[in-house]
Amino acid sequence: MAKPRKKRNRRSSFRRRRKQCRFCSKDLPRIDYKDVETLRDFVTDRGKMLSRRVTGNCAKHQRQISRQIKRARYIALMPYVAE
């Protein structure tokens, strides 16, 4: 007679690694509104800013990113919405 299979809790066997802030881990220069290529990594194709949970940034750098995205939008370096 075969032994019954033991049920595993999937969550206990899988541990998600915490995302690290890319600005804290690497000594990157200050976040600047003129660096549109970097800021585009934090915006969806529809023009929405990505949350801290999705990007893995720390609170300090997420605030800086959102401020610089807003400045770039105001000067028309980045669009507010996708067309």
pLDDT digits (tens, 9 = 90+) for 7-61: 666 666 667 777 788 888 877 778 899 999 999 999 999 999 999 999 999 999 9
pLDDT at position 40 is 93
pLDDT at position 70 is 95
pLDDT at position 14 is 65
The domain 31-83: what is its CATH number? 4.10.640.10
For the chain, the structural domain boundaries read: 31-83
- pLDDT, tens digit, 9 for 90 and up, residues 54-80: 999 999 999 999 999 999 999 999 988
Whole-structure pTM value = 0.75
DSSP string, 19-80: P--HHHHTTPPPP-TT-HHHHHTTB-TTSPBPPHHHH---HHHHHHHHHHHHHHHHTTSS-S
